[in-house]
């Protein structure tokens, strides 16, 4: 169950498994920089800030819009209630998926800041140890058969529980330092009734991402045979 704390125009969500006192400062990269606790930063649509706290390495991300509307509104969203925000919905979904034993980045806390009819948001999750994306791997070498099977089985497990990922692509599939596969970035994701129509569409989106990334890089170790193998493993696991 998500714990909710509200003061003035700010609401902080905290995972049921977190006992630390979370304050607004947690959502400010400069706070962690002053504590000399920033350990890394990765650029994507937005910067992901990695910080260390009492032996825990966590990831802080701000919510930004994508596409053409993102150029106009950047990080602003229409506020119609806390539980309708993308921040709350992703956080609650991650909490639910974690409790089902699925391999997600564990939620720690999130912040929703409201100003009139506009809100902005941030989320903090536990960092995945030694995380390397499928895209990063393919820039250096081919995926072996065991890795292809692990990816397929992991996706099948999520689909079995009706976990819909709105942007299933090879940047959002990670291997940890022990070879376990995780899915990350569940913004606009949801729990649905398992159904082959949306599940197949999810896999088609993933397939397109392989070929899209292959066209971006001078060296990319991906073949049609690899996709066929991954998809066959997925069908067997589903």
Say whether 230 sits in a helix, a strand or coil.
helix
DSSP per-residue string spanning 139-196 = TTSPPPHHHHHHHHHHHHHHHHTTEE-TT--TTSEEE-TTS-EEE---TT-EE----H
Buried b or exposed e, range 100-134, using 16+ CB within 10 angstroms: eebbbbbbbbbbbbbeeeebbbbbbbbbbeebebb
Which H or E run includes 136? helix 134-138
Instruction: Look at the alpha carbons of 191, 192, 194, 196 in this order and tell me if their dihedral is positive or negative.
Output: negative
Q: How far is CA 211 from the centre of its chain?
A: 21
Q: At what angle do helices 224-237 and 145-160 cross, to 10 degrees?
A: 40
Annotate 46-83 with b (16+ C-beta within 10 A) or e (fewer): eebbbbbeeeeebbbbbbbbeeeeeeeeeebbebeeee
Whether 192 contacts 230, CB under 8 Å: no
Instruction: Please indicate whether residue 195 is annotated as part of the active site.
Output: no
Catalytic residue among 167, 176, 187, 195: 167
Positions marked catalytic: 167
């Amino acid at each position: 169950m998500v714990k909710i704390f509200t003061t003035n125009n700010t609401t902080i969500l905290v995972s049921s498994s977190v006992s630390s006192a979370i304050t607004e400062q947690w959502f400010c990269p400069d706070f962690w920089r002053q504590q000399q606790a920033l350990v890394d930063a990765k650029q994507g649509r937005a910067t992901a800030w990695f910080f260390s706290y009492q032996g825990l390495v966590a990831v802080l991300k701000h919510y930004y819009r994508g596409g053409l509307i993102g150029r106009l509104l950047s990080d602003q969203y229409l506020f119609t209630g806390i539980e309708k925000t993308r921040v709350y919905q992703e956080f609650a979904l991650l909490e639910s998926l974690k409790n089902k034993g699925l391999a997600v980045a564990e939620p720690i806390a999130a912040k929703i800041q409201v100003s009139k009819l506009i809100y902005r948001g941030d989320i903090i999750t536990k960092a995945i140890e030694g995380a390397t994306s499928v895209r990063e791997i393919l820039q250096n070498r081919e995926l072996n058969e065991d890795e292809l099977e692990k990816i397929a089985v992991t996706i099948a497990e999520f689909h079995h529980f009706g976990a819909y990922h709105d942007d299933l692509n090879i940047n959002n599939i990670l291997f940890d330092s022990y070879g376990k596969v995780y899915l990350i970035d569940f913004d606009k994701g949801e729990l649905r009734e398992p159904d082959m129509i949306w599940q197949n569409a999810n896999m088609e989106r993933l397939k397109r991402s392989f070929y899209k990334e292959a066209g971006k890089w001078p060296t990319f170790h991906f073949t049609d045979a690899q996709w066929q193998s991954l998809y066959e493993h997925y069908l067997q696991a589903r």
